[in-house]
Amino acid sequence: MRLPLGVVVKDFIIDGAPTYSISLVGLDGNVAASAVGHKRSQPGGILVQMPNISASNSRLYYLDGDSSVMFLRPDGTTGSATTISVDSNSAAVFAVSPDDSRIAVAVITFPYPAKTRIYVEDLAGGGHHIDLFSSGTVLEWPAGWHEGHLVLAVGMNAPPQNAWDGFIYGYRGYHVADASTGTRLATICDGYDASDPPVPAGTVCANSSSSVVSDWSGATRPAPVDVGCAGGALSPDGSMIADCQDNPRVVTFVVSDGTRIATQYSGTPVGWIDNTHVVLRANNSDLSVVDARAFTMTPVQAQGFFGGTIPGAL
């Protein structure tokens, strides 16, 4: 199946079984490829909410257990990519570069307040290793790569109130850092949360009273406050936000010039597969793909939550 593809993850942490599944789905909602991996351990009994997958521009990488990084190609081929060294009190979060050459890794050591260590090295063989960052107070991890730089998600370094079957993204925003030195280049969503998968154009930043769209340089523009969809999901090119408006709540497309296009659909926008196809989650958690031009909706033939796309470059 041709790219782009959406990523659907099932039984990430909530289900009691030892494994979770990943499905790659097309714009038509059909499954192109799938794989099963073992769940992370629970260091200190903690359910680790940070992502355990990463997409390059050609394939998906996923953790099998705590240390083994596997890959899944759109044709269904799987294989081993690398191994990350972690102890029983730690969890690994990683992001593979768009060209599959480098991997950025955060080793998060519990209990809270968690300790963070971030490094970058060659995906194949672990050469050209660079230690970028270490902290006993700041919780952050690689969320992706943007024009050769690292996008680091910033978390709240305290026990969460609850867990759910989904990924935490920039709960306290993002930092953009030089992938060779760790020097911070930009701060994104300072004072806001970012709840949906980040995209090349940036992210929606939302708090209880306002929303903005930020690109990866930190430049922002206003965005409407939505009604119960955590700020909404930004399209990869930044041209539209899919959010929720009105009462009763309906999915609304907000164009970058502020124009609002109401739809007949209910549900929560959770991300875009490409610039014209957004994924909605229904109240029963079923997923569907909505064409933002033709205003058609197609069920996704996989259960779980939306976890991103291939290509995965930010």
SS3 label, residue 17 = coil
Distance (Å, whole) CA 112 – CA 127: 31
**CATH number 1.10.540.10 is the correct assignment for the domain at 5-310:** no
Residue 235: per-residue pLDDT: 98
Q: How confident is the model at residue 229 (pLDDT cuts 50, 70, 90)?
A: confident
Over the stretch 281-293, which tens digit does the pLDDT of each residue have? 999 999 999 999 9
Residue 47: CB partners within 8 Å, gap ≥ 6?
13, 163
Task: Give the C-alpha distances (Å, rounded to integers) separating 14 from 8, 18, 46, 271.
Answer: 15, 10, 12, 21
Residue 1 above 80 pLDDT?
no
Whether omega before 299 lies within 30 degrees of 0, making that bond cis, reads no
Q: What average pLDDT score do residues 209-228 get?
A: 92
Domains of the chain, by residue range, sit at: 5-310
Q: How confident is the model at residue 117 (pLDDT cuts 50, 70, 90)?
A: very high
For residues 56 and 14, which has the higher predicted lDDT (pLDDT)? 56
* Main-chain dihedrals φ then ψ at residue 152, nearest 5 degrees: -110, 125
Lowest mean pLDDT among 160-164, 255-259, 281-285: 160-164
Q: How confident is the model at residue 121 (pLDDT cuts 50, 70, 90)?
A: very high
Residue 230 above 80 pLDDT?
no
Over the stretch 259-278, which tens digit does the pLDDT of each residue have? 999 999 999 999 999 999 99
pTM of the predicted structure, to 2 decimals: 0.97
Angle at 292 between CA 172 and CA 153, to 5 degrees: 15
Please give the radius of gyration of the chain, using alpha carbons only, rounded to the nearest integer.
Answer: 18
Residue 44: per-residue pLDDT: 86
Residue 45 per-residue DSSP state: G
Residue 77: CB partners within 8 Å, gap ≥ 6?
none
Q: Name the strands in the sheet holding 211-214, side by side, starting at the edge strand that comes first in the sequence.
A: 203-206, 211-214, 220-223
For residues 56 and 191, which has the higher predicted lDDT (pLDDT)? 56
Q: How confident is the model at residue 208 (pLDDT cuts 50, 70, 90)?
A: confident
* Cβ-contact 151, 104 below 8 angstroms: no
